[in-house]
C-alpha cells in the first residue's frame, strides 16, 4: 500500500519545504495508519489506478488516517496506543465525493470524502498522540488516493479521465470504516504490522 502524505499546507509552510519534507521522509523507514477499502469503491479505485498509472498498481485502496511519519516511541508503544484509541471508537461510514488533486503540493489524484469527513478528522486528531504523534506539515485532508503520478503534467492528462470514470460509476459510494491497519515502509514498499478493529481488541 502507499499511505499518502498530502493536504493543505499549515501556516508558515512553503511548497518547497513541503516537497523537501516529503522526499526526505519517504526515503527512510516511516509508519502510517490506514483503513483498507474492500468494497466496490475500493475495486473501482484499484481498476482505475491500473488504467491511469500501470506502474503503480501495488497499493491496495485505502483511506489514510495518519499520514507517513516517524514514531515518537517504539513500535510496540505505537501499537498499544492504537489499540487503546480504537477500543473507544465506534465504526462509522463515510461517503466519497468528487475527484480532485493535490497539485501543486503533490501530483496526486484522489476522491474527496464528502460526507462524515469530520469523523475521519476526529479520528486522526485522536490517534496523533503519544508514540504516534507527528508534527505534520499539511492540514489533514480526508481522502482516498486514486493515483500518485510522477509529474503535474501527468495529473492534468489523467484528471478528466478519472472524473469521467467516477461519473459513470453506478455502485455505492459509501465506505464503512471498521478496522485500522498499522503499516510501515520505505519508499513504495509497505507492510502491514497489525489490524485493529474499532471498538475491539487488536488482531495481530
How many other CB atoms are there within 10 angstroms of residue 163's CB atom? Answer: 14
Predicted TM-score of the model (pTM): 0.83
What are the beta bridge partners of residue 112?
143
pLDDT of residue 73: 95
- The domain in which residue 44 lies consists of 7-197
pLDDT of residue 71: 96
- DSSP H helical segments within 29-102, as ranges? 40-52, 75-87
Output the 3-class SS for 43-56: HHHHHHHHHHCCCC
Which carries the bigger pLDDT value, residue 120 or residue 1?
120
Res 16 pLDDT > 80: no
3-class SS of residue 174: strand
HSE-up of 134 (CA within 13 Å, CB side)?
23
Res 25 pLDDT > 60: no
Which carries the bigger pLDDT value, residue 78 or residue 25?
78
Over residues 131-173, the pLDDT tens digits come to 999 999 889 999 999 998 989 999 999 999 999 999 999 999 9
**CATH number of the domain that residue 30 is part of:** 3.90.1140.10
Report the domain count for the chain. 1
pLDDT of residue 195: 96
pLDDT of residue 26: 53
Q: Is residue 203 part of a domain?
A: no
Mean pLDDT of 112-141: 96
Over residues 161-171, the pLDDT tens digits come to 999 999 999 99
Mean pLDDT of 91-119: 95
Among residues 107, 183, 98, 186, the alpha carbon closest in space to that of 143 is found at 98
- CA separation for the pair 201, 184 (Å, rounded): 20
Q: Is residue 2 part of a domain?
A: no
3-class SS of residue 189: strand
Q: Is residue 202 part of a domain?
A: no
Q: Work out whether the CA dihedral 71, 73, 75, 79 comes out positive or negative.
A: negative
Average pLDDT, the chain: 87
Amino acid at each position: 500500500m502507499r499511505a499518502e502524505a498530502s493536504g493543505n499546507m499549515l501556516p508558515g509552510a512553503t511548497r518547497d519545504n513541503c516537497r523537501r519534507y516529503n522526499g526526505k521522509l519517504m526515503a527512510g523507514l516511516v509508519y502510517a495508519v490506514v483503513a483498507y477499502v474492500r468494497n466496490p469503491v475500493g475495486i473501482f479505485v484499484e481498476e482505475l489506478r491500473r488504467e491511469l498509472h500501470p506502474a503503480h498498481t501495488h497499493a491496495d485502496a485505502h483511506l489514510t488516517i495518519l499520514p507517513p511519519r516517524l514514531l515518537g516511541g517504539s513500535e510496540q508503544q505505537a501499537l498499544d496506543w492504537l489499540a487503546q484509541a480504537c477500543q473507544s471508537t465506534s465504526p462509522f461510514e463515510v461517503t466519497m465525493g468528487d475527484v480532485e488533486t493535490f497539485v501543486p503540493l503533490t501530483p496526486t489524484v484522489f476522491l474527496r470524502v464528502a460526507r462524515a469527513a469530520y469523523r475521519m478528522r476526529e479520528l486522526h486528531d485522536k490517534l496523533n498522540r503519544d508514540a504516534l504523534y507527528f508534527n505534520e506539515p499539511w492540514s489533514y485532508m480526508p481522502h482516498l488516493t486514486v493515483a500518485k503520478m510522477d509529474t503535474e503534467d501527468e495529473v492534468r492528462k489523467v484528471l478528466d479521465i478519472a472524473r469521467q470514470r467516477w461519473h459513470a460509476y453506478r455502485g455505492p459510494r459509501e465506505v464503512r470504516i471498521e478496522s485500522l491497519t498499522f503499516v510501515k515502509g520505505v519508499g513504495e514498499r509497505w507492510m502491514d504490522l497489525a489490524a485493529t478493529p474499532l471498538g475491539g481488541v487488536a488482531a495481530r
